[in-house]
Copies of this chain bind each other. A is one copy, B any other.
Amino acid sequence: MTKPTHHHKDYYAPEEKLYVATDNIIFGFDEGVLKLLLFKRRVEPFKGTMSLIGSFVHPDESAPNAAKRVLREITGLDDIFMEELKSYSAVERDPGARCISIAFYALIRIEESNKALVEKHGAIWHEVNSLPDLVLDHGQMVTDALGRLREKAQFYPIGVELLPKKFTIPQLQKLYEAIYQRDIDTRNFRKKLLSLNLLIPLDEKDMSGSKKGAYLYKFNYSKYKKLETKGFNFSLFKT
């Protein structure tokens, strides 16, 4: 089963190899609720159990590329916010074989995904607050990913990756309330947010949420890129 690779020689021959997989924790935000893309495992053991979406890392691709490949196959999306979470390598984690998994979490805009493709793959959006039992250590991965999301969102405005490109401030607030499972004061939220000068106000309103309508904004990515390198404080509240 060994495909040829670019490597001319295997210098490490007596060492043992392991299966290397990736698993993706794919977050989305819809109807004011934080969701996760799951599907039914298609291979034994535990075929049919709810599972994260993953793949083995092939010899000709890096782990992040394997994760991106899977994300593209399922959602049709490219160019997505994705970060490595951590690796999972307990000896007994997978009864199917000795296999380590490198978990990645991704933030996507559900409405930009190819819904037919998602459905074709049998993938389903589940509310984060009422997840089914997941196969192997995938439940732990989700817990870890949620922790990381909360940590990260406190210092980086990654929330915008989950919203449409044009979004309203009340939408963003609802997202943060979903991530942190707490209410946030509207006035303080707006003040903090607008003081960062990272939102570009548009001359459009979103009328879907209320009669009055809420102004739409775009995220100022280029300005953010510049700030990011120096680091800055996006924190919304004290611990």
Chain A positions within 8 Å of B, measured between CB atoms, are 1-3, 5-7, 9-20, 43-45, 56-64, 84, 86-87, 89-92, 95-100, 102, 230-233, 238-239
Contacts and interface: CB of A to CB of B under 8 A. Distances in A.
A57 to B, nearest CB: 7
Most buried by B among A17, A56, A62, A96: A17
A97 B9 CA distance: 7
Contacts of A92: 6
B61 A91 contact: yes
A19 B60 CA distance: 13
A191 B99 CA distance: 49
Contacts of A60: 91
A57 B5 contact: no
Contact of A231 (B96, B232, B239): B239
A11 B56 contact: no
A83 B194 CA distance: 36
The secondary structure that dominates the A interface is loop
Contacts of A9: 96-97
A100 B100 CA distance: 11
14 contacts: A1-B14, A3-B16, A11-B96, A11-B97, A16-B56, A17-B19, A17-B20, A18-B20, A18-B59, A59-B91, A63-B87, A63-B89, A64-B89, A230-B239
B12 A99 contact: yes
A45 to B, nearest CB: 6
A104 to B, nearest CB: 10
Contacts of A97: 7, 9-12
B89 A57 contact: yes
Give 5 nearest A-B pairs by CB, closest first: A17-B17, A11-B96, A63-B89, A231-B239, A62-B89
A73 to B, nearest CB: 16
A151 to B, nearest CB: 9
Nearest to A86: B84
Contacts of A56: 12, 15-16
A204 B64 CA distance: 52
